[in-house]
Amino acid sequence: AEEKTPGRYAICVRHPLATAASQISRTTNYTLGKNANALKDLAPPVGENTVGLWLHYTLSALKETQGASRLVVSFEDFVQHPKSTVENIARYLLTWKPTDSQFQKGIASVKPELNHHKYTLEDLDEWPSIVRRTYELSLRGYRDPDGFNGGKFDEEVDSLWDEHGQMAQMIQPIALPAGQVLFSWRDGTQAGHHGLKYSPTGDWQTLRSVVPAPPGAVIQIDPYQTPCQIWIKKAVWIMDGEEKPAPLNPGPNGVMTRVLQGNAQENLGLLRLTIFGPGPLLTRAPAKSGKAEFEIEFMLQSNPVVLAQMLGMIRGRLEEARRGA
Q: What is the pLDDT along the chain (325 residues), one digit of tens a residue?
A: 344 446 889 999 999 998 888 777 665 554 444 444 443 443 334 456 788 889 999 999 999 999 999 999 999 999 888 998 888 998 899 888 889 899 899 888 888 777 777 889 999 998 889 999 999 999 999 999 999 999 999 999 999 999 998 887 776 656 778 999 999 999 888 899 999 999 998 889 999 999 999 999 999 999 998 888 999 999 999 999 999 999 999 998 899 988 765 444 445 578 999 998 888 999 999 999 999 999 999 999 886 667 767 777 777 777 777 777 6
Is the pTM higher than 0.75? The answer reads no
| Predicted local distance difference test score (pLDDT) of residue 1 | 39
| Predicted local distance difference test score (pLDDT) of residue 268 | 56
SS3 217: coil
What is the rounded distance in angstroms from the CA atom of residue 108 to the CA atom of residue 82?
9
| Predicted local distance difference test score (pLDDT) of residue 291 | 95
User: Contact, 56 vs 64, CB < 8 A?
Assistant: no
| Predicted local distance difference test score (pLDDT) of residue 314 | 73
What is the rounded distance in angstroms from the CA atom of residue 81 to the CA atom of residue 275?
54
What is the rounded distance in angstroms from the CA atom of residue 69 to the CA atom of residue 75?
19
Task: Walk across the sheet containing 249-250 and list its strands.
Answer: 190-198, 179-187, 218-222, 281-284, 249-250
Q: Which residues of 54-74 are buried (b: 16+ CB within 10 A; e: fewer)?
A: bbeebbebbeebeeebbbbbb
SS3 128: coil
Length of the chain: 325
**Closest Cα partner for 277 from 227, 223, 316?**
227
Angle between helices 46-64 and 16-26 (to 10 degrees): 130
User: Contact, 200 vs 224, CB < 8 A?
Assistant: yes
User: Contact, 141 vs 62, CB < 8 A?
Assistant: yes
Q: Is the dihedral of CA 220, 223, 225, 229 positive or negative?
A: negative
| Predicted local distance difference test score (pLDDT) of residue 44 | 39
| Predicted local distance difference test score (pLDDT) of residue 227 | 86
